[in-house]
Chains A and B, each alone.
Chain A
Amino acid sequence: MAEYEAVIGLEVHVQLKTNTKMFCSCKNEFGGAPNSHVCPVCLGMPGVLPTPNEEAIIKTILTGEMLECQIAPRCKFDRKNYFYPDMPKNYQISQYDEPLCANGAVTLNLLAFPKDVQNDPKVAFDKKIRLERIHLEEDVAKSFHYETASGIDFNRAGTPLMEIVSKADIATPEEAFAYLTALKQILIYGGVSDADMEKGQMRCDVNVSIRPKGQKEYGTKVEIKNLNSISAVRKSLHYEILRQTADVEAGVPIIQQTRRWDDGRGETFMMRTKEKAHDYRYFPDPDLLPLNTEEGLHQTAKSRLPELPAAKKSRLVAAYAVTEYQASVLASEVALANYFEKAAATAKNKSAVANFLLNDYFATGGDIENIPVNPEFFSELSNLVEEGKINTKQAKEVFPKMVAENKAPSVLVKELGLSQITDTAALEALCDQAIAANPRSVADFKAGKTNAVNALKGQVMKLSKGQANPQVVGDILLKKLSA
């Protein structure tokens, strides 16, 4: 059997976060009653004209900047002509041959990959997926079909939509997964979109073909639609690559077609074959002047460039002495990184704060958007440990209450009666007590089994009801036993 490789390209549509629609002043908002955010312009009434939304243009340029694109100094809007009830004017204002952004790339990273391949040595975690272009257009309405009629809700019609087209650089379903995860991360970083695929804020069409390894020419391309999550993209690609491979092996030619992913059944189904390409008769929209981005718009977008995940990660390692891994996780979400920076602000051991946040907090099942805790409490808690006021075991007792009640750790320590015994005289008495009660361990220690000191330490901790400072106890025991 020949070995095959997949060639994958993604077209991602992203809803932009703006106050108003792309070409009118209706609210860009979802969840309202059907047709409650509409006006003559977005309903395509006779005689109306579009006026471009600068915020959407700025956000598209910002995306281009974040993704290393070339920004067109001048571009235009075109009309894409086709009849569809979702489209009020029966043409869509889009960009054809002069997109706002060209080229660029999304750089993958380890954490963007699915967890189950993060240890796979064969995966190139830092691969660059090149982009073809990014352009801006208007979204269409939503249709609803009933038994004898159809209804159209135009609330979404005319909202700004950005299309990001990758080159066919993606070779595996996992890379597709990582591409979408990394892209989403950057979109959220820039405040461009919330990019939630389940909510339709990010929509993805997949193009996939296979070819024998080493072959230059591409195989016949199949498009997959109805992908409502990043993992659905991965699953559908696995399915589709197997299906195409089986067909090719069986001598069945692949036909150019569009297939629909059925997430419940885990299969793709043929929707339509592409007998001939649709002729959209693009031409420059005469209602809209050519766009000059060179000065105002591009400058504004540049001024909004955020620190991107890779840069943030390096800075966290340098400034907070957290581990590479901690920094990657923190930088994977801008909200998480921001919270961490506040939480670690006055901490002596910032890596400990990262641990509290990444391990202990997420173990409670909480998320970062709704974290109820004053971030300063993280510093306070870790400093109590650093200063020997409580031990780590006690800190783990304080933590859930700190999260549940949003109370200062110092207050909780008092409430729980947890202050650690560091008074040497008191601890010496307890150590003597433990030595006297455990002659066997003492004998073991003297016979060279130095580990035996831990058993004694455990006894002292027990006698102190867990409040003894374990480090101080260890020191005292060693001194006494070696004497």
Chain B
Amino acid sequence: MSALYTESVASLRRKLAAKEITAVDVADQLLARIEQADGKLNAYNFKPDAAKVRAAAQAADLSKPLGGVPIAIKDVINVQGDPCTCSSKILQGYTAPYDATVIKKLREAGAVLVGRTNMDEFAMGSSTENSSWGVTRNPWDTDRIPGGSSGGSAAVVGGHEAFAALGSDTGGSIRQPAALCGCVGLKPTYGRVSRYGLVAFASSLDQIGPFTKTVEDAALLMEVISGHDPKDNTSVNRPVPKYTDALKQDLRGMKLGVPKEYFISGIDPEVEAATKAAIEHFAKQGAEIVDISLPHTEYACAVYYIIAPAEASANLARFEGVRYGNRVKNPKDILDLYRSTREQGFGPEVKRRIILGTYVLSSGYYDAYYNRAQKVRQLIKRDFEQAFTKCDAILTPTSPTAAFKVGEKTSDPLQMYLADIFTIAVNLAGVCGISIPCGFTKSKLPIGLQIIGAQWGEENVLRAAHGYEQTTEWHKEVPQI
């Protein structure tokens, strides 16, 4: 039998339906691949339990949309009975007492859950270096980072240690690592996928989304995980389209916008060249390329680093050792319990953002920072609304550079923050975006293309991404691990 682990979800489904393979074959091959590769990548915080996975595969209902398909989960989503550490020491020992809504949906769709993937602590970071479990390595070059914060999910899919994975995206945490690991990563429209059970980083920006090997797989997963959830007040009651139908149309007649603000200094020349080549490719395939402007782009990063830490400072207040997780031994009093537990439990980046968020919400600073940031956020939102009157989707680089070396940016948080410069505005505007492979650097590092859609514009994004993917070969490359 050929290596099953490099298959896409759609192709697995076809082979399972034709009874060429069994779900247990799939599970076995994947388990073997993880044994072989994860020692080098360190992408799983919790590797799948072989016996459990085999039993689940055996019991899987193959008639379901994801019947028998193993899917890895970022360690920030609650799976009942499993740990959920968020790659933080503070959640050591915590066992999730409930299933996130997306997990329920995956189970109902027949998926087999495999393992919990590494991430930057509480999803704060762009390299998966801020993890209490150690750094995850890029499958294309293990001296390099996989991106972040969903670096583990990107690495397991890019490194074929999983067929698909779920991640979360607050400022680029799905798209940027997908770009750096050479896979597909989609951040849905805010409100499309329930956040119930996703440990919150910044509630108004967080969305769960899929990592896959192909655009078709992303559409398949989106059909399963999307939809209104009464348990999430911010999820929207709006029918879920059959996303795979959007793939049937080619690129002809699509209007694709290119924003001039995204091609400025600081972008790596190889990334810029690959992006421009991709834009030309779209034109050749019959898409119409239009120049657009997103004039408030330059403020996105500043706005993000006010709003996200502000929300995080409150979201992370519940981690203090009283009810669950790690707790210091013999505290002097309750204040000491809080302080010492948090001092020892959180890493430096998390502390930095809690302090930043606490500061911008403080009395006397609220108007100057938080309130003003919210106003600028509205302008950014309006930029996108206006842009989408002129085009169906927007093309940009996903990340200004390909994967950088482990340790290269850890001493300079500001440099690290710039890794998300092209992805952040999408979260602020609440629109959707995907990253797909669009080339390699000379040293064989993947480059990602970001395709941004309007609110509820997933179908346009998937159509454009699929049209590109089906006429290029980048996604077929497999890293040697």
A residues apposed to B, CB below 8 Å: 40, 43-52, 79, 81, 83, 85, 88-91, 152, 279, 281-283, 286-289
Contact = CB atoms under 8 A, between A and B. Distances in A.
B57 interface: no
B224 interface: no
Given A47-B84, A49-B232, A279 B98 contact: no
Contacts of A40: 97-98
B456 interface: no
Nearest to A283: B361
Contacts of A81: 313-314, 317, 361
18 contacts: A43-B323, A46-B84, A47-B77, A47-B78, A47-B200, A48-B196, A49-B196, A81-B317, A85-B334, A89-B317, A281-B313, A281-B361, A282-B361, A283-B310, A283-B314, A286-B203, A286-B204, A287-B233
B299 interface: no
B280 to A, nearest CB: 40
Contacts of B362: 279, 281
Contact of A49 (B231, B319, B324, B361): B231
Given A50-B233, A286-B204, A289-B234, A44 B361 contact: no
B320 A83 contact: yes
Nearest to A154: B323
B322 interface: yes
Contacts of A289: 233-234
A91 B358 CA distance: 13
Nearest to B195: A49
Given A50-B233, A85-B334, A288-B233, A45 B320 contact: no
A88 B98 CA distance: 17
B311 interface: yes
B317 A83 contact: yes
A258 to B, nearest CB: 19
Interface string B314-343: 100111101110000000001000100000
B363 interface: yes
Contacts of A47: 76-78, 84, 96, 100, 196-200
Interface of B: 76-78, 84, 86, 91, 94, 96-98, 100, 195-200, 202-204, 230-234, 310-311, 313-314, 317-320, 322-324, 334, 338, 358, 361-363, 366, 370
Contacts of A85: 322, 334
Nearest to B200: A47
Contact of A91 (B78, B195, B317, B363): B317
Nearest to A278: B363
Contact of B233 (A49, A90, A91, A152): A49
A88 B318 CA distance: 7
Contacts of B76: 47
Contact of A287 (B77, B97, B100, B234): B234
Summarize B's interface: helix, strand, loop or mixed.
Answer: loop
B225 to A, nearest CB: 15
B123 to A, nearest CB: 12
B196 A283 contact: no
Nearest to B198: A47
A43 B338 CA distance: 17
Summarize A's interface: helix, strand, loop or mixed.
Answer: loop
Contacts of A89: 314, 317-318
A44 B233 contact: no
Contacts of A282: 361
Contacts of B230: 51
B367 to A, nearest CB: 11
A291 to B, nearest CB: 10
Contacts of B320: 83, 90
Contacts of A279: 362-363
Contacts of B358: 281
A77 to B, nearest CB: 10
Given A85-B322, A281-B362, A46 B203 contact: no
B98 A51 contact: no
B86 A46 contact: yes
Contacts of B100: 47
Contacts of B311: 283, 286
Among A40, A81, A83, A279, residue most surrounded by chain B Cβ atoms (within 10 Å): A83
Among A50, A83, A90, A283, residue most surrounded by chain B Cβ atoms (within 10 Å): A283
Contacts of B98: 40, 45, 48
A40 B231 CA distance: 12
Closest 10 CB pairs of A and B: A90-B317, A286-B204, A286-B203, A281-B361, A46-B199, A47-B199, A47-B197, A44-B318, A47-B78, A89-B318
Contacts of B199: 46-47
B78 A283 contact: no
A83 B338 contact: yes
Contacts of B366: 281, 283
B323 A88 contact: yes
A373 to B, nearest CB: 47
B433 to A, nearest CB: 20
A289 to B, nearest CB: 6
B202 to A, nearest CB: 8
A286 B320 CA distance: 22
A69 B245 CA distance: 53
B99 to A, nearest CB: 10
A91 B197 contact: no
Nearest to A288: B233
Given A50-B233, A81-B317, A281-B361, 11 more contacts: A45-B98, A45-B324, A46-B91, A47-B198, A48-B98, A49-B195, A89-B318, A281-B314, A286-B203, A287-B200, A288-B234
B48 to A, nearest CB: 21
A289 B199 CA distance: 19
Among A49, A88, A89, residue most surrounded by chain B Cβ atoms (within 10 Å): A49
B86 A51 contact: no
Given A46-B91, A46-B199, A51-B231, A283 B370 contact: yes
A468 to B, nearest CB: 75
Contact of A79 (B197, B204, B314, B322): B314
A51 B195 CA distance: 12
B130 to A, nearest CB: 18
Among A44, A282, A287, A289, residue most surrounded by chain B Cβ atoms (within 10 Å): A287
B167 to A, nearest CB: 15
Contacts of A83: 317, 320, 338
Contacts of A44: 318, 323
Given A47-B78, A83-B320, A279-B363, A91 B314 contact: yes
Contacts of B314: 79, 81, 89-91, 281, 283
A40 B80 CA distance: 11
B332 to A, nearest CB: 14
Nearest to A51: B233
Nearest to B359: A281
